[in-house]
Amino acid sequence: MKRKQDNEEADINIHSEDEMTGTENTEFESEQDKTVVFNDDQDSDSDLEAGPINRTGKVPREWYEEYPHIGYDVDGKKIMKPATADELEKFLAKMDDPKYWRTIHDDVDDKDIVLTPQEIDIIQKLQQGSFATEADPYEDAVDFFTYKQSIHPVLSKPEPKRRFLPSKWEHQKIMKVVRAIRKGLILPHGPKTEKKPQFYDIWNDSEEPKRTDKIPAPKIKLPGHAESYNPPEEYLMTEEEKKEWEAKDAKDRETSFIPRKFDCMRHIPAYNKFFQERFERCLDLYLCPRVRKNRINIDPESLIPKLPDPKELKPFPSILSVVYKGHSGRVRSVSVDPTGQWLVSGSDDNTVKLWELMTGRCIQTWSYDEVIQQVVWNPSVSISLFAVVFGEKIILVHPDNFESKAAEWKLIDETQLEINHSAQVKSCVWHNKGDYFATVASQGHSSKSVLIHQLSKKISQNPFKKVGGIVQNVLFHPKRPLFYVATQQFIRIYDLSKQELVRKLSPGFRWISSMSIHPSGDNIIVGSYDKKVCWIDMELSPKPYKVLRFHKKAVRNVVFHRNYPLFASCSDDGTTQVYHGMVYQDLLQNPLIVPVKILRCHSNKGGLGVLNCQFHIQQPWLVSSGADGLIKLFS
């Protein structure tokens, strides 16, 4: 039931008898003596009459909106909808009817019900949080045992001892029942009733079909003529066939036995592989699944990403053009000058050679005391200078036949400038402007493992007080004052102007070997000794966007091309893989990565393959150096 719709208040506001005046108070008192809420003397059959008239149950009232009746009574007769009053009649009833304030509307029977004074009293008490009945919840408790002193116990006498001992006669009765159960004279669970056969309606379509997912085990193949004790001659093997049968694997043999011939059945010996065959049969029944599974038919071609044809992505290096011969040891590093005319290389034979890129002619050779770790050409076109890294030293070399346009190079007296370090230097990298370069030394977790040098002032500075691991490689951002430091598992990005850590990249590798930044500065590729190369879109996430697993051995170097959408990776498996990597200006479009060429350029020697690879500055050419002592140019 609900309250009449004209009343807009959420709760029933019940006034006390002192607040009622006029006719309302008189009417209330006149009905108080006549109305009875609970009548215990009423016959139980009257419960049917006291119930709701509408016996349709708890069904939505919307079902009867289109019909002239609201439901059915006990006799199944329709209960017609009563006449509804308009808004004016409701307003007049609200003003004139003294019972209006305690009138509620019954939705089931569609009629108005006037609450009795007892019901009003119960509602009032429930609103106040008190008990509905006239009961005192805080009545004083009467202690039955102490309020009146007595010399005799109030309760019965103390418990006898037999109450605490097991009964002898009860034990005998229980044992009698136990013996009868053991002899089968008494069935504790009653007789087992046989299940009556169930009959099904064969014409009923709603019957659930039997499950056919389980498939019966395949039967053993019946023996053929070859398994007979006296097989025909064509089933017997010759000596050559026996040797061929014994040389094959057990799974490749047509039969698991060699046919034999006996004169009679009593000459047949015991079969020595009987238990083995029974065991394998049991394994097949136990381990091999025999369940029919619903498989989704998917076209495999739809799962492969649609990539453009590599022929449409030309130009990229694909043909061997020039081979540079002259080193007697492993060529660990190569570098192309900014003009694209010269090539410098460093080898394990302690020499650095200057080559003419197009012809492969050696122009000049420098010899040093230790193995050359790396050679890096200054990226500035106005400065003809390259750095040589070996041992604990970095030597800046200015070739004799080159002219430097920068005035500050007059401060150098000779063609070489030496910078000493406190530990062995592993690598060197130049800033794009050519005035700064950074070095990485093998000092473990020491803060002096990374140094930044300035050519114009000839000073070296230590930018870090602490590095978070063993530094593997460093890079300068091509456009912003950012410095990338790669440890074994993470890459940290520092802002050199603000001198703070900006970001931390997680490639997910166990040992990072090299890295290279895209010319736009928003993407970076990372190579690792885990045989993987990953592409990280720094605008998207600090984790890899793509992971390339095409190499079979450790990746030694990765490099981006400055002008073409190309990047390459070289590995100890003797291959250099070239990829098309297009970065779009639209930030909503992900980079396009397509493998275009595998260059098998160097042979494996001493477990090492291709040690370094570099792109030409202007042309889509690639220079690679390997452990076989050769340098090759692909165009």
> What does the pLDDT look like over 451-478, one tens digit per residue?
888 888 788 888 887 777 888 889 999 8
Determine the Cα angle at 125 with ends 123 and 126, to 5°.
Answer: 65
Q: Considering all CA atoms of the chain, what is the largest pairwise distance in Å, rounded to the nearest integer?
A: 133
Tell me how far apart the alpha carbons of residues 496 and 302 are, in angstroms, rounded to a whole number.
47
User: Hey, how many other C-beta atoms are within 10 angstroms of the C-beta on 101?
Assistant: 16
User: How does pLDDT run across 296-324, given as a tens digit for each residue?
Assistant: 888 888 887 787 887 878 888 888 888 88
Residue 112 makes CB contacts below 8 A (sequence gap 6+) with 4, 103, 104, 105, 106
Please tell me the predicted confidence (pLDDT) of residue 559.
Answer: 92
DSSP state of 173: H
Please tell me the predicted confidence (pLDDT) of residue 22.
Answer: 39
- Supply 600's token pair: 């098998």
Closest CA to 338 of 389, 402, 400: 402
Tell me how far apart the alpha carbons of residues 408 and 579 are, in angstroms, rounded to a whole number.
40
Mapping DSSP to helix (H, G, I), strand (E, B) and coil, where does residue 176 land? helix
Mapping DSSP to helix (H, G, I), strand (E, B) and coil, where does residue 595 land? strand
DSSP state of 219: P
User: Hey, how many other C-beta atoms are within 10 angstroms of the C-beta on 628?
Assistant: 20
Tell me how far apart the alpha carbons of residues 242 and 256 are, in angstroms, rounded to a whole number.
12
Please tell me the predicted confidence (pLDDT) of residue 169.
Answer: 92
Question: Which of left, alpha, beta for 604 (phi over 0: left; psi -120 to 50: alpha)?
Answer: beta
Residue 163 makes CB contacts below 8 A (sequence gap 6+) with none
Tell me how far apart the alpha carbons of residues 342 and 616 are, in angstroms, rounded to a whole number.
10
What is the assigned CATH class of domain 310-634? mainly beta
Tell me how far apart the alpha carbons of residues 552 and 246 are, in angstroms, rounded to a whole number.
36
Dihedral sign, Cα of residue 223, residue 228, residue 231, residue 234: positive
- Specify burial of residue 627 (Cβ count, 10 A radius: 0-12, 13-18, 19+): buried
Based on its alpha-carbon atoms, the radius of gyration of the chain, rounded to whole angstroms, reads 49
- Specify burial of residue 294 (Cβ count, 10 A radius: 0-12, 13-18, 19+): exposed
400 contacts 414 by C-beta, under 8 angstroms: no
Residues in the chain predicted with pLDDT less than 70, given as ranges, are: 1-51, 144-147, 153-154, 156, 204-213, 400-417, 443-447
DSSP state of 222: P
Tell me how far apart the alpha carbons of residues 378 and 396 are, in angstroms, rounded to a whole number.
10
Tell me how far apart the alpha carbons of residues 167 and 172 are, in angstroms, rounded to a whole number.
9
Give the start-to-end residue ranges of the domains of the chain.
2-34+48-128, 310-634
User: What pTM did the predictor assign?
Assistant: 0.51
